[in-house]
Amino acid sequence: MATRWYRAPELILLEKDYGPAIDMWSVGCIFAEMLGMMKQSAVTYLDRKPLFPGKSCFPLSPDTNARIQANGFPVSKDDQLAKIFEILGTPDDSDIAFVTDPKALTYLKSFSPIKRCNLSIKYPGASEQAINLLNKMLQVNPYFRISVDDALEHPLFAKLRNVEKEKIALTPVFIDFEEQDLDEDCLRQVFLQAVKLI
């Protein structure tokens, strides 16, 4: 997912070498939203919100009204990385070891230090296992992020999984509707057809 609120840090920092970990980041963001929908975590539906609701994303879609710091980078509290660091804390050297661009490293160093927030306080309805998995999904460094296979093996899913019914594709999956021009009407029809199949 490249949508701003679900965009992995390596994509924001324009890393050219990225892989499946970007999807695990997005899944972590969605999982956090699900935890935020629990009654214990959100008193009313108005309290439900995305984890990282950035309004801009430097350098991809910068805030044109952001003030410029002395080091030359725009500063906005609503920038996507600022929103991420507000929750996960500013990254240390091991967290940013994957970054290859010197300008990106300088940009990362321009953020004021913030401590990681305790996600179990943010999501009081979530189990200890759910918070553990969420923390593993939302690692700034993609090399520290949990893999899909390891996430499926996580204790949170031990009572849910039926490994005998799981199928692993031996070849790449081809989805024919991806070849179409998906305007709103076409996408609506694809969704309706998919729902009928269920």
Burial 133-166 (b: 16+ CB within 10 A, else e): bbbbbbbbbbeebbeeeebeebebeeeeeeeeee
DSSP string, 66-95: PEEPTTS-EE-TTBHHHHHHHHH----TTT
Give the pLDDT band (50/70/90) at residue 1. Answer: very low
ω into 59 cis (within 30 of 0)? yes
**Domain at 4-166: CATH code:** 1.10.510.10
The average pLDDT across 18-38 equals 95
Helix (H, G, I), strand (E, B) or coil at 117: coil
The average pLDDT across 27-54 equals 90
Instruction: Report the pLDDT value the prediction gives residue 143, as an integer from 0 to 100.
Output: 97
User: Is it the case that residue 7 has pLDDT exceeding 80?
Assistant: yes
What does pTM read for this prediction? 0.82
User: Is it the case that residue 52 has pLDDT exceeding 70?
Assistant: yes
The average pLDDT across 75-95 equals 93
Give the pLDDT band (50/70/90) at residue 11. Answer: very high
**Residues 94 and 141 sit within 8 Å (Cβ to Cβ):** yes
Residue spans of the domains in the chain: they are 4-166
User: Is it the case that residue 163 has pLDDT exceeding 50?
Assistant: yes
Helix (H, G, I), strand (E, B) or coil at 19: coil
The average pLDDT across 31-55 equals 89
Instruction: Report the pLDDT value the prediction gives residue 19, as an integer from 0 to 100.
Output: 94
User: Is it the case that residue 196 has pLDDT exceeding 90?
Assistant: no
Mean pLDDT of the chain: 89
Give the pLDDT band (50/70/90) at residue 2. Answer: low
Radius of gyration of the chain measured on its C-alpha atoms: 19
- Over pLDDT 90: what percentage of the chain? 58
d(CA 97, CA 13): 12
